[in-house]
Amino acid sequence: MNSRERILGRVRRALADVPADETPYERAVPRDYLREHGERTTEETVELLAENLTDYRAVVHRTNREELPVLIMRLLDAHGSREVLVPEGLPPEWLSATRALRVEDRATDTPDRLDRVGSVVTGCAVAVAETGTIVLDGSPDQGRRRISLIPDHHICVVRVPEQIVGSVPQALERLDPSRPLTWISGPSATSDIELDRVEGVHGPRALEVILVG
């Protein structure tokens, strides 16, 4: 007998007390928890996202489509980045003002190469107001998972209001589990020293979120 059969056999013997006609999954789990915590207007949802992002030390900017390229240029300059990592589907106009050299996200690049790039600019799949979270799903404007991980400075553009949801349940509804997802809530942090939160470990130490509406 192989281990698969052995383990499944043990499970079935262990569950001999479970009746065959037990309540099915659909009725076994009460879903009376809230879909969203409180009622908010769209503007209030955007405000809450900004507040919660800031609370976990992300830097939040608000702008419109026309001024976005200049804002991105300023943020890259302020960080001193001469190179910027770019996913292949990033709208080219976003980087129309910056003079930083674009480094395309290529499968063949080594992690060491990416480690020498100062900043990365991505879009996102969805942003969650109640938790201050942005979610990347590897779409063309977000790129491979590693590009938002290795550079020390991540600029993430969120389209307002269409990419913002209120809560975690609403975010999961919108996301496709077959894609690799990265949920980001503030810059990398740790609570490992005396259970106090310290920002800045392995992921980007600076996270800037631009809300474009």
Partner 1 sequence: MSGTFVGMPAFPEAARDAVGNPTLRGNLRHATHTIRAKRDRAVAELADWAQLREAGRRIKDHTLRHLDRYLEQLEASVTAAGGTVHWAADAEEANRIVTRLVKETGESEVVKVKSMATQEIGLNEALEAAGVRAYETDLAELIVQLGHDRPSHILVPAIHRNRGEIRDIFTREMGSWGRPAPEGLTDRPADLAEAARVHLREKFLRAKVGVSGANFMVAETGTLVVVESEGNGRMCLTLPETLISVVGIEKIVPTWRDLEVFLQTLPRSSTAERMNPYTSTWTGTTDEDGPRAFHLVLLDNGRTDTLADQVGRQALRCIRCSACLNVCPVYERAGGHAYGSVYPGPIGAILTPQLRGTASEIDASLPYASSLCGACYEACPVAIDIPEVLVHLRERVVQGGPAVRRGNKVVLRPAKGHAAERAAMRAAGWAFAHPGALRTGQRLASRSRRLHPRTLPGPGRAWTGSRDLPAVPAEPFRDWWQRTRGGKDAK
Q: Nearer Cβ to partner 1, position 93 or 115?
A: 115
* Residue 174 CA from chain centroid, whole number: 13
Instruction: Give the footprint of partner 1 on residues 146-205 (CB under 8 A).
Output: 146, 149, 168-169, 172-173, 177-204
In the complex, the smallest distance separating the C-beta of residue 46 from partner 1, rounded to whole angstroms, is 17
Token reading at 150: 């290795």
In the complex, the smallest distance separating the C-beta of residue 148 from partner 1, rounded to whole angstroms, is 9
CB-side neighbour CA atoms (13 Å) of 1? 8
Q: Nearer Cβ to partner 1, position 41 or 110?
A: 110
Could you say which of 21, 28, 41, 66 contacts partner 1 (CB under 8 A)? 28
* Residue 156 CA from chain centroid, whole number: 9
In the complex, the smallest distance separating the C-beta of residue 61 from partner 1, rounded to whole angstroms, is 20
d(C-alpha 94, C-alpha 68), whole Å: 6
Cα distances (Å, whole numbers) of residue 51 to 58, 104, 157, 173: 10, 32, 16, 23
In the complex, the smallest distance separating the C-beta of residue 186 from partner 1, rounded to whole angstroms, is 5
Token reading at 83: 């190179």
Rule CB under 8 A: say whether 20 interacts with partner 1. Answer: no
Please provide residue 22's backbone torsions phi and psi, each rounded to the nearest 5 degrees. -65, 155
Radius of gyration (C-alpha) of the chain in whole angstroms: 21
Binding mask 81-120 for partner 1 (x = CB under 8 A): --------------------------x--xxx--x-----
In the complex, the smallest distance separating the C-beta of residue 30 from partner 1, rounded to whole angstroms, is 6
Residues that bind partner 1 (rule: CB under 8 A) add up to a total of 75
